[in-house]
Structure 1
């Protein structure tokens, strides 16, 4: 009895130990199983996050680079239309009364040369009582105002006029047209190199020549505008103290006197034209008109004499015989 009780106790103890060991192992397995997914999930997220950041970074950099490139291209293509970057043609005129026209003209020439310009035209008139000079100066646009001020100090300034013309849009349009025309010329040359027969060759040569001519014309217009914008034009009129300045016709006020003056000028101009025509026709009238008048006069005299001769009685006519016979 005592032995059977002992065996039962030992068996109960072994069973309890086995149960406790199984529960501990199951708890460890559950903890391990729960920790493993967490580690796997965290590691996967970390691993996935790093490549995602790595992949996102190049994309963001590429987009940023593309944005910068597009911004540069847009800046390069769009024309700069700021005030200080616009293409403006400056033209001016100034009238100065000086003591010595020759000396003042020399000083004006020196001012133009010192500013980097040159004299485009020089016209001088020397009269019995007065001298005048008309100079056309080509001056760099950046020194236009300073040169005008220097010219005004040569004597007493009497008249000044300054005009500006903005040709920025015209130059931009010419640049675009020149680019298109160059592309057309190149395409025409490519087609010309692939001509299959003589007719196509002749036609393409004519077309290429026309396109090149149009391109040369556009480039000439651009060079002309570039010259006008780079060098401004100043017309300088120098008068001595006794010279009189010609009045500007545009300054004449409108009214009855202006209309009368205009009508009188038109009448004198018409009379001048008429007298010119008569002077040109007079030699022909003398050379042809006098002989024709002489012939007409001779014919009239002859016709007047002919009827008188026909109306006179003939001596052998019956009327004369009847008159001569005696009455019974």
Structure 2
């Protein structure tokens, strides 16, 4: 009877209070499950994104769908340049590769360039590291030498992940429906062949999308790290007569280069001399004849 006496507005007020309390409880449950605080919005690290994604996929706490819808998938990349003495560069690269095997880390590639007369020693390592072991890995890399450069890049892959997962879901349902059609009685041979052809196409596309999803998971659940090693450039002091010594050492090579240039010039001129010398001889002879005829003409004019 008391409920009948209560005004409708008062009852609506209590209904609103109950709904607000339920929303606050869900928000608190989400923060507890994901490990994110309310003040961290917009500053979530890649480790937090990976943890939220894993909770969403596993359906932790019975709210996996809500967590997956609120998660983001971010691909994080680190690029480092390490400068260290050239004598221990190869050992540093081997140490980093060995340390990678002790944590959740996968070495994608590694290379070492030995010192030569024209090249200084250098090396390169690319790896994928789990977010929880990233700081350990970077700290160990920093101990191998001086960090000359450290750049960080991130790319949001959420749209690509959502698109691939939607295609996987639709393609899986389409494949299952085709399989059910094969089990139905009374299917003709022509229809059976057509269904099997469509089933093979659906399975191939499904495998392709599954591979793409694994690639995206590898990019977003692990951090890509690229490390470039350079040998330290040492400055050598020059003495007062260092330039004189260099000139004496280069005397033979400079003399050889000059002789080579002279021989090349002579070899280039010889073919032209075959044409130029006879031409000059005929030209000189023609000029002499012209002058003799002119003198003869002048001498004959007064006599006439």
Normalised to the residue count of structure 1, the TM-score between the two structures is 0.47
Work out whether 1:172 is the aligned partner of 2:162.
yes
1:94 pairs with 72, 80, 84, which one? Answer: 80
Conserved? CA contact 1:118–1:139, under 8 Å: yes
CA distance in structure 1 between the aligned counterparts of 2:63 and 2:129, rounded to whole angstroms: 32
What do you get for the CA RMSD once the two structures are aligned? 3.3
1:108 pairs with 96, 102, 106, which one? Answer: 96
SS of 1:239's equivalent in the other structure is strand
Runs in 1 of length 4+ with deviation above 3 angstroms? 74-82
Change (3 A) 1:217 1:126: same
Change (3 A) 1:81 1:203: closer
Work out whether 1:191 is the aligned partner of 2:198.
no
CA distance in structure 1 between the aligned counterparts of 2:202 and 2:68, rounded to whole angstroms: 29
Change (3 A) 1:86 1:125: same
- The residue number in structure 2 matching 1:211 is 202
Change (3 A) 1:209 1:226: same
Shift of 1:184: 0.7
Instruction: Map residues 1-328 of structure 1 onto 2, 5 A cutoff.
Output: 75-80=63-68, 82=70, 85-99=71-85, 100-128=88-116, 130-194=120-184, 196-242=187-233
Conserved? CA contact 1:79–1:172, under 8 Å: no
Normalised to the residue count of structure 2, the TM-score between the two structures is 0.51
Conserved? CA contact 1:116–1:139, under 8 Å: yes
Question: In the TM superposition, what whole-angstrom CA distance separates every residue of 1:74-124 from its partner, at most 9, and x where no partner exists?
Answer: 955445355xx5322121211111112012112222332233213221111
SS of 1:93's equivalent in the other structure is strand
SS of 2:175's equivalent in the other structure is helix
CA distance in structure 1 between the aligned counterparts of 2:141 and 2:64, rounded to whole angstroms: 41
Change (3 A) 1:157 1:167: same
Change (3 A) 1:145 1:164: farther
Change (3 A) 1:79 1:174: farther
SS of 1:80's equivalent in the other structure is helix
Change (3 A) 1:177 1:79: farther
Aligned length: 177
Change (3 A) 1:76 1:97: closer
Shift of 1:137: 1.8
CA distance in structure 1 between the aligned counterparts of 2:224 and 2:157, rounded to whole angstroms: 16
Conserved? CA contact 1:139–1:231, under 8 Å: yes
Rg larger in structure: 1
Change (3 A) 1:118 1:196: closer
